[in-house]
Structure 1
Amino acid sequence: MSAIKSVGGRTLAVAALTLGYALMPVSAEAKQPPHWFEQFKSTASDAELYTFLYAMPKGGDLHHHMTGSALSEWWYELALAQQQHGYRYYTKVRINNCNGFGGNEFGYRPYLLHLHNLLESSYKKLTDCEKSEYKRLEDLNAREKKAWLNSIRLDAAHEGRDEFFQSHWQRLDELMNSPYLIADILVKNMQAFGDEGLIYMESMMGASGYTDPDGNPIEPDAVADIYRARLQQPDAKATGVTVRMQESILRFAGNAEDQLRRYFDFVSRNNDLYLAVNMVGREDNDKGHPMRFKETLRDLRRTYNNVKLSIHAGEVDEPNFHIRDTLRIGADRIGHGVNLIDDDDLLRQMRYGPYLIEINLISNLLLEYIERYDQHPFPEYLRLGVPVALSTDDRGMWDSNITDEFFVAVKEFNLSWDELTQLSRNSISYAFIDENNKAGLLNTLNSRLDSFEQGFESQGVKALSDITPVTYSFVCKQYQLCDFTASMP
């Protein structure tokens, strides 16, 4: 080293020493030990990993449809309980070929659809032949009840996108008419999510389209009051979960622009509870393309200053410019974003940017937008710095929960602890809630994460000994995680 030359008045000693150290083998003592989470992952069973993720504090779920978030068993239980509000339901258990089928098979209420649900007031308007096809919901026998429960979840290998979009919602039909039932479903989700460590829900939970038991419309503002009252009840408050809502327009409907105008006004007037409007519905129906709404949204922004947009975009299995167009018309968040991976320029521009993609891993698999998880662009977005957060979409119809989303992400994409916590923080940081409440939620999340991490570092797997996850059929079928009482040490 004594013969090192000087170039331009600067010594090469530092460069030489640096090169020398770079070429020297690093001793075992000098290596950094693996992070505690990496150590845990390397030895944990699937049951231990799942239990860890179930117990882990989480942020929010920013993308879920409330009517799609109810487990089949919840629908049945709560539908029968609606008799206290005067609602009684009938379901179709046979086809008697009344009136030569008597309906449009391509409409919203196809005749040849078993286990379709009606209000009693609608049932009474049917012909005698049509009435003979229906039973009171509470009168179903065991076989019929099992079929009814299975009819509104994707539980068979042959079911997929078409079954979901063309049968599930049509079967529910007038079950969705009672705002009291939907409010109860909200609380059921708050309880279940709260048990999983979630602290915030931003639900697509409309206030339009509801009726009383006789089929008369209930005004949206009255529905919002029903929701507010339900959220003040002790069982809702005990969950510790903060709730805000979005209204949804059916993007391909003939009156979608009128829906957009009505819902902007409604959200603005009910801004304590409602924060945003969302464009939903099959994106592969070209009548709902984003640029259809450009002029309507420009007009609305001249008047309203307190309504956000979170729009489904890129939930297709073909390249298009829907995400680009969705941002052009003013979206603040992107739902799904699967085909962003095909738009190189936009992908580059969205790195470290203000727009979050709401990732729905299970939904995208079951609705066949990907065939396998290794086709999902989520890890590319995450590790390129595109803001992302995990969400559940229609978890009742997948028979899953938010822990399943985290479990899939860790198992399939080897997430680190920093990535896990970043996903949770993103789900609060990119929420539409006001800044004061957002800051409080972030403080709560960070405090809980710190306590959880310290407890696990000091106790290891023993910290999970009192945790028994509540699971559903998805993780049982996909990962054989079915009986946690027999799985944990």
Structure 2
Amino acid sequence: MKKMIVALCVSAIALPAVYANVYASEAKSAADAVTKKNLQTTRQYYAQLIAGTPGAQTRLAELNMLMTMLPKGGDIHHHYTGSVYAETYLDWIGQQGFCIYRESDSAKKQEKFRIESRPAFLTDENKSCLKADAIRKDNLFYRELMSTWSVVDFSNHVHPQVAPDQHFFNTFGYFSGISKYSTNVGLRILKQQAKAENQQYLETMLKSAPITDHPELSAKIDALQSSSSKEAQTQAYKEAQTQAYKEAQTQAYKEAQTQAFEQFADFLAKDAGAQKKIADYVQETINDAAGIDDADFTLRIQTYVSRNSAPSKVFSSLYAAFAASQNNPLIVGVNIVGAEHALVAVRDYDLHMQMFAFLKQRFPKVRLSLHAGELVLGIVPPEHLQHHMRSALQIAGAERIGHGVDIMHEANPDQLLAELKRRDVPVEINLTSNDFILGLKQHEHPVAMYMRHDVPFVISSDDAGVSRSNLSREYFLFASRYTPSYDSLKKTVYNSIRYSFLSPTDKAAQMRQLDQRFAKFEAAAANLAKSAKSQF
């Protein structure tokens, strides 16, 4: 009898727990059903927006709103200095007490729109140099300044102008005198802008890596370009295969190249001054990023070099970039930047790829995302369109390709498309800057081709401050022009985390966060769809 009573008592205690489990299971099933319904409703609503209503155009305003609400995941092709808006730079000029010249004077070595920071010239007597407050009161000069420091007003009225690509790259020279004013403050501004767009991760190219010179060793590397055979390079362009490129070089040149790289790298590895520069650079980057990460936002840094410097400077800076990035959880990758069609960049392109290949052997853990194929027919001779992406992939070992818009002109482009897919190497798509810099309009852009051939890609912003854009705008252009399905759009967002250079643990956490953001977004989108339907 006692055993029966005990059993009954135990059963009575256990029953609520059983019911709780049943209720929890039922609640989860109900929640899952709601989530699935929200997903389906969002799919249908998005499809209506990109297709338009019968007899009407695509519902662009609603689509724009939806893309602003869309979880963005990450922005992984992003330049810090080009992403801060000119208005912010002007604020910093005011805080520093600097001024900007309103007229050019060659005799005084003064140039219109340039920043003056030298104390001897920051006087009331220098009437040609305006302080920030005075600039804001002079509407005409203010508009001119904004138009010079960014692309605002470039295309919407007739005015004297330089070529679009020159205008774009010129802007960096104008605000370079203030862009390093307070990088931590600038990153905090960019963080708030990103969070306002429902973006959770930023991988930005922050500052170029330091350069250390050694006159004798530098001269050996600088001589490599003039020593290479133009005929051999031309043959390599035509064949556009890594093996053909190697075979085209003379044995003497290959040995000279390897020796020059090894000697300079060994010097940099042992030189106390070079190592201090690298250590200081790493610490400076840590200070710049201090306090940026929080529960909803994560920042990581790419370091980079300029492709339009002398070969020895590129190599020295690249060594520092690789050394800074090796085993560094904050500096997660290395890149090369600058106008790819500029004289030095074109001349030394193959040499740069060999530098990457050499340093990758010394620093095998370093991740690489390279600007490559930011070219169109006419901007360079045809032979230079045939190998830039392929060389970045096959020689340098790029894990991501920045821009990649000359794919249709590369030698054997069908094979290159297949290789990008097979290697799972994504292309970083920058629609606004490709349009402005290269004149690559709408369906001339190869992003739809990448979609059809199942080549992975991400949507990114590039230089939103100069372009007067943001990441939401890039997704809006992608959705409105190329009308991907909602599932394809969503996959593209997830790609921005999947192909980031985050650690596996951090990447998994970001993916979970993105899942949660999409659940909230699709619930909000479903409500929007109901509201929109009730109005028609």
TM-score by length of 1: 0.75
Q: Distance in 2 between matches of 1:90 and 1:392?
A: 30
Deviation of 1:368 after TM superposition, in Å, equals 2.6
**CA separation of 1:419/1:461 partners in 2, compared to 1, >3 Å: closer, same or farther?**
same
The whole-number CA distance in structure 2 between the counterparts of 1:237 and 1:122 is: 40
Residue 89, structure 1, aligned to residue 98, structure 2: yes
1:326 aligns to what? 392
Aligned partner of 2:309 among 241, 246, 253: 253
- Relative distance call for 1:122 and 1:56 in structure 2 (3 A) is farther
Matched, 1:114 2:180: no
Q: Report if the CA contact (8 A) 1:60-1:200 is conserved.
A: yes
1:145 paired with 2:146, answer: no
What is the CA distance between 1:174 and its match in structure 2?
1.4
Which structure has greater helix proportion? 2
Deviation at 1:302, TM superposition (A): 3.5
CA distance in 2, matches of 1:119, 1:461: 56
Judged with a 3 Å threshold, the aligned counterparts in structure 2 of structure 1 residues 172 and 336 are, in CA distance, closer, same or farther, namely same
Q: Which residue of 2 aligns with 1:335?
A: 402
Q: 1:296: which partner in 2? A: 355
Match for 1:201: what amino acid? L
Given that 1:116 and 1:173 are in contact with CA atoms closer than 8 Å, whether structure 2 keeps it comes out as: no
Partner of 2:131: 136
Alpha-carbon distance between aligned partners in 2 of 1:414 and 1:287, rounded to the nearest angstrom = 39
SS of residue paired to 1:275:
strand
Question: Which of 297, 318, 340 is 1:283 aligned to?
Answer: 340
Point out the more displaced range, 285-294 or 248-257: 285-294
Q: Deviations over 1:65-87 (max 9, x none)?
A: 10000111121123333x4xxxx
Tell me how far apart the structure 1 counterparts of residues 360 and 133 of structure 2 sit (CA, whole Å). Answer: 48
Deviation at 1:446, TM superposition (A): 1.8
Q: CA separation of 1:136/1:39 partners in 2, compared to 1, >3 Å: closer, same or farther?
A: closer
Distance in 2 between residues matched to 1:364 and 1:323, nearest whole Å? 16
Query: How do 1:406-421 and structure 2 match up within 5 A?
Result: 406-421=475-490
Structure 1 residue runs of 5 or longer lacking an equivalent are: 1-31, 103-110, 211-217, 465-487
| d(CA) in 2 for partners of 1:461, 1:314 | 44
Structure with higher Rg: it is: 2
What displacement does 1:201 show?
A: 0.6
Give 1:242's match in structure 2, choosing from 298, 310, 313: 298
Q: Whole-Å Cα distance in 1 between the matches of residues 209 and 304 of structure 2?
A: 9
**2:361 matched to 1:309?**
no
User: Over residues 323-379 of structure 1, what are the superposed CA-to-partner deviations in whole Å (9 max), with x where a residue is unaligned?
Assistant: 000112111110000011222321232235321100000000011341x21111111
Distance 1:415 1:163 in 2: 32
The aligned runs of 1:44-443 (5 Å cut-off) are 45-81=59-95, 83=96, 88-98=97-107, 102=109, 113-121=111-119, 123=121, 133-140=128-135, 141-143=137-139, 144-155=141-152, 156-157=154-155, 158=161, 160-165=164-169, 167-178=170-181, 180=182, 182-206=183-207, 221-222=279-280, 224-225=282-283, 227-229=285-287, 231-233=289-291, 236-237=292-293, 240-254=296-310, 255-268=313-326, 271-288=328-345, 289-318=348-377, 319-327=385-393, 328-342=395-409, 343-370=413-440, 372-443=441-512
Larger mean Cα displacement after TM superposition, 341-350 or 313-322: 341-350
SS at match of 1:279: strand
Checking the alignment, whether the CA contact within 8 Å between 1:316 and 1:369 is kept in structure 2 is no
Q: Distance in 2 between matches of 1:461 and 1:76?
A: 44
**Distance of 1:299 and 1:40 partners within structure 2:** 50
Residues 48 and 461, structure 1, Cα contact 8 Å, conserved in 2: no
TM superposition shift of 1:290: 3.4
Residue equivalent to 1:7: none
Deviation at residue 300 of structure 1 after TM alignment: 2.0
Matched letter for residue 101 of structure 2:
K
After TM superposition, what 4+ stretches of structure 1 lie above 6 angstroms from structure 2? none
Q: Counterpart of 1:350 in 2: which secondary structure?
A: helix
What SS class does the counterpart of residue 364 from structure 2 fall into?
coil
Q: Deviations over 1:172-221 (max 9, x none)?
A: 1311343x2x32222111111111111111100016579xxxxxxx9665
Paired letter, 2:404: G
Cα distance in 2 for partners of 1:38, 1:174 equals: 47
Amino acid at match of 2:171: H
User: What secondary structure does 1:400 align onto?
Assistant: coil
Aligned CA distance change for structure 1 residues 414 and 69 (closer, same or farther; 3 Å): same
1:39 matches 2:48: yes
Name the CA distance, whole Å, in 2 between partners of 1:294 and 1:76: 38
Contact 1:352 1:385 in 2 (8 A): no
Query: How far off its partner does 1:268 sit?
Result: 2.5
Residues 204-255 of structure 1 deviation map (CA, whole Å, 9 limit, x = unaligned): 0016579xxxxxxx9665565455445444xx45682211011111112002
Aligned length: 403
Aligned twin of 2:519: 450
Instruction: Check conservation: 1:353, 1:386, Cα contact below 8 A.
Output: no
- Alignment check: 8 A CA contact 2:210 2:320 kept: no
**More moved, 344-353 vs 183-192:** 344-353
Cα drift, residue 459 of structure 1 = 4.9
Distance 1:252 1:40, change over 3 A: closer
Stretch moving more, 335-344 or 431-440: 335-344
Contact kept in structure 2, 1:65 and 1:394, CA below 8 Å: yes
Q: Which runs of 5+ in 2 are unaligned?
A: 1-39, 156-160, 212-275, 378-384
Return the offset for 1:259.
1.1
Give CA-to-partner distance per residue, 1:23-46, whole Å, 9 cap, x none. Answer: xxxxxxxxx998443134434732
Deviations 1:250-275 (A, max 9, x none): 11200211111122112227x12111
The aligned amino acid for 1:52 is L
Cα contact 1:91–1:134 (8 A) shared by 2: yes
Alpha-carbon RMSD: 3.1
